[in-house]
Structure 1
Amino acid sequence: MNKKLEHKAESCWKIYSSPDHKSEMNGLADRYLDFLTKCKTERETVEYVRKAVEDAGFSDNLDSSACYKVFRDKTIFIARKGKRPLAEGFRLVGAHADAPRLDLKQHPLYEEVGIGMAKTHYYGGIRKYQWLARPLSLHGVVVTKEGKKISIVIGEKDSDPVLTIGDLLPHLAYKQADKKLSDAFEAEKLNIIMGHSLSESEDDSGDDVDPSVKTKILEILNEKYGIVEEDLFSSEMYIVPAGPARYVGLDKSIIGAYGQDDRVCVFLALQAMLSEPEPEYTQIVLFYDKEEIGSEGSTGAKSLFFEYTLQDLIDAWEPDVKLSHVLMKGKALSTDVHAAVDPDYQDVHEKLNSAYFGYGPCFCKFTGHRGKVGANDAHPEYVGWLRGILAEAGVPWQMAELGKVDLGGGGTVAKFLAVYGMDIIDFGTPVIGMHSPFELTSKVDVYATYQAFRAFLRN
């Protein structure tokens, strides 16, 4: 058979082997590690993005040719005029800024056997046992009844204490070991160890009160942030892994960090847009919240924030153009990560249609589960067009689906944008350990994804 007729993926390490590529790749990876270390919540991520686009000259006035709009500090719309009018369509890269985590409950604080604890409710799809016996940090925002907004971060500085969830010692875990995994680790036991020492406070009359570990925790929060227990009712308090993003492997070829699903695509889409200041078509970059729980709420992809903001942009740039006309001319990438084959768990993948570390960003033509239920299924005309622009740019890529048919499946924001009639497909960086507290990406895949986003946004 003529080998030229066959498709054979090539390692990105071969394609990007020149000193210039390696230098650019390493610089991008260093900046990406810094971003992951600083951005562990959607609010922190959106604020990082807002500052970056402002530093690049973008305005929060939609009349500007380079503009942005932030909504509720959790989602952001960024646009730049192209050489062609908006009426001819746009190039949109969408990603989500939220990640699986533990949220403090409304009444979190309590004391048990001399230890101060906090109750949690997990957010998104986690494997509960992965959150036990590891350093954790507290990130969040508290709003007082006077309307004062207070940001809280504990556990990230070297001088900070960290938090944790205790685990059962193996000597007493025989019954637990015999249970199914789903039964052995209970959500109501994902309780945070907050402290252990007793308060030494007085009440308002000056009388001594019974010492309490819970009171001691409240005293510390009050001294550091000026808040009281009631303020926790109007707060968003997240428990996330503590510590910086790190290189993994003796060759520093892998990036390990919390929240790479989907902040890798957030970071790379931002960097790609800032690197392509003179596009042919209008560029739009859109970062959502709430993808991990079904894209619900006013800041998720099911909301009308994108539609309303695009209408405002049309009114500012080309007021005689219909919203529906612009939407149906659009081309979009739903940039979310894809499961790479884990060397220890190869059996859950159908290898011919799986993503591999080091072979570039991955197209997922359809998502959903089992019989493609709940899927966006990209049209072949659009897939062919994307192949063409990536080939012209010399960017490697791969095509896969998520696991074996009866075992795998998942969802993204693609189907919520597809309803507008635009062309859209899922496309993102392969990840090992997705939804774990320490996800892994290949440094060369991160670089290849960045180059792919650049090619798309400048086309």
Structure 2
Amino acid sequence: MTTPLSAADFQAQLLDFLDGSPTPFHAVASLAALLDKAGFVRLKESDNWAMQPGGRYYVTRNDSSIIGFVYGTENQPADGVRMVGAHTDSPCLRVKPNPELVSQGYYQLGVETYGGVLLNPWFDRDLSLAGRVTYRTDHGELRSAMIDFKRAVAVIPSLAIHLNRDANRGQEINAQTDIPPVLMQVEADAKPDFRDIVVQQMQAQGITGIAQVLDYELSFYDTQPAAVIGLQQEFIASARLDNLLSCFIGVQALLGSDGSQSVLLVCNDHEEVGSRSACGAQGPMLADFLARLLPDTEQRLRAVRRSLMISADNAHGVHPNYAAKHDGNHGPLLNKGPVIKVNSNQSYATNSESSAVFRHCCEQAGVAVQSFVTRTDMGCGSTIGPITSAQVGVLTLDVGVPTFAMHSIRELAGSSDAHGMYRVLSYFFQASGNLLPVSQ
């Protein structure tokens, strides 16, 4: 068990985590480093497992999803597991397999939109590249490595208003033709090979013995660092708050666990594109983990019924310029507490019992709580909550920190909300006794 983080220490470490996690691969590496430092034992899915009471473990899949687990000494897994779920991916621009474009002497890369990207804010930003590269070594072995250019290497310039007088009256962005980033100037007949550029970056990072880059998963990201802003320092501004903010809150709550309760954090990849993958929430990763933790089917099914999952994903804060986009009674305010997300059509997994548990935890932790329901005449997004609940059968609710500009290249959240959610999840992981309602 670690000493609880003060608000100041929490914020400082959060900013470092956000800056060091430009892709899901880097996010999982950052989470794993925190768990390694705290003495968690890394498990490999291809090995035999022998988890014991009092042990602390973690496992990754695809380098982009991670499960951390504390095996309780008092509350055994068969008596139920307290779970928190989040996701490591964020909407972004991914480099295509054959991306090279040369136009008017400018070298550009073709990109594919990943998830529901808010495209307008990507223009005129200082962009870098990061992700995973799979290559063949000089000895014929296949290996994967993470790379991060870190410095600004590209930009998507806006078209001057003089050439588009209707730009401020609403402009449709063509994702195929309008957003390929500009990397450099070249001769008109030049044909730079992007894989050569990748090799140069790998070598600059000390990776040697590269015979050939076979493939990659690389994303552009904004180089502007995360920051605490506002006249009273009440806001956190950063890329990827959705949903690295919840990943960081979850791992800090896990690190603070005293070991008496069986608690679990799962951070899945691919939520922004539907979660349908081997390492996504619609895949078998969490179910596989629980099956290995409790091999006996009867025991495992009983344990699931005694468990609770808190799906932590950002919520829409009511925007002062667009307040009409919210239901009048359900417009969460920044810095007024975490939000319980409700949708009767099951876009969120919350029900009255799971919501009541979270309200109880907030009260015990001394943290205010809010509710969000989308306008009845508007559609509702979803999370890993309903997917996980359907896959595993666990009682689940959806909560989140209220946020502005969700899916933008730079989002905004309340600084006290993040620390408040940390306090609530810490209580959830450590509270003794049964937290589930007893039916009459």
Q: Fold match, TM over 0.5?
A: yes
Choose 1 or 2 for highest CA Rg.
1
User: How far does the alpha carbon of each residue in 1:46-94 deviate from its partner, in whole angstroms, 9 at most, with x for none?
Assistant: 1111111111111124424211111110111111122122111110000
> What is residue 398 of structure 1 aligned with on the other side?
370
Change (3 A) 1:176 1:381: closer
- Partners of 2:218 and 2:349 lie apart in 1 by 37
Aligned pairs (5 A) from 1:325-336:
325-336=302-313
Aligned pairs (5 A) from 1:369-388:
372-388=344-360
Change (3 A) 1:247 1:392: closer
Q: Which segment is superposed worse, 123-132 or 31-40?
A: 123-132
Offset of 1:352 from its aligned partner? 1.1
User: How far does the alpha carbon of each residue in 1:208-230 deviate from its partner, in whole angstroms, 9 at most, with x for none?
Assistant: xxx85442866544434369xx9
- Partners of 2:212 and 2:155 lie apart in 1 by 23
- Partners of 1:373 and 1:383 lie apart in 2 by 16
TM-score (norm 1): 0.83
> What is residue 148 of structure 2 aligned with on the other side?
153
> What is residue 243 of structure 2 aligned with on the other side?
262
- Partners of 2:60 and 2:383 lie apart in 1 by 21
Is 2:39 the partner of 1:68? no
Q: Which of 316, 341, 357 does residue 339 from structure 1 map onto?
A: 316
Q: How many residues align?
A: 409
Is 2:191 the partner of 1:191? no
Change (3 A) 1:393 1:191: same
Change (3 A) 1:169 1:231: farther
- Partners of 1:273 and 1:376 lie apart in 2 by 24
Is 2:294 the partner of 1:294? no
> What is residue 171 of structure 1 aligned with on the other side?
162
Letter in 1 for 2:118: R
- Note the aligned Cα RMSD (angstroms): 2.4
Offset of 1:394 from its aligned partner? 1.8
| Aligned-partner SS, 1:296 | coil
User: How far does the alpha carbon of each residue in 1:245-273 deviate from its partner, in whole angstroms, 9 at most, with x for none?
Assistant: 11211222211000000111100010011
Offset of 1:40 from its aligned partner? 1.4
- Partners of 2:21 and 2:230 lie apart in 1 by 23
Q: Is the Cα–Cα contact under 8 Å of residues 278 and 285 in structure 2 kept in the other structure?
A: yes
> What is residue 203 of structure 1 aligned with on the other side?
none
Is 2:94 the partner of 1:114? no
Change (3 A) 1:251 1:390: closer
> What is residue 241 of structure 1 aligned with on the other side?
222
Change (3 A) 1:129 1:406: same
Offset of 1:232 from its aligned partner? 6.3
- Partners of 1:216 and 1:49 lie apart in 2 by 33
Identity %: 23
> What is residue 54 of structure 1 aligned with on the other side?
36
| Aligned-partner SS, 2:413 | strand
- Partners of 1:133 and 1:98 lie apart in 2 by 23
Aligned pairs (5 A) from 1:314-325:
314-315=294-295, 322-325=299-302
> What is residue 436 of structure 1 aligned with on the other side?
408
| Aligned-partner SS, 2:42 | coil
- Compare the two structures and name the one with the higher helix fraction: 1
> What is residue 68 of structure 2 aligned with on the other side?
78
- Partners of 1:45 and 1:135 lie apart in 2 by 21
- Structure 1 alignment gaps of length 5 or more: 1-20, 199-210, 367-371
| Aligned-partner SS, 1:163 | coil
- Structure 2 alignment gaps of length 5 or more: 44-48, 432-440
Q: Is the Cα–Cα contact under 8 Å of residues 152 and 223 in structure 2 kept in the other structure?
A: no
Is 2:128 the partner of 1:140? no
TM-score (norm 2): 0.87
- Partners of 2:411 and 2:227 lie apart in 1 by 11
Q: Is the Cα–Cα contact under 8 Å of residues 117 and 191 in structure 1 kept in the other structure?
A: yes
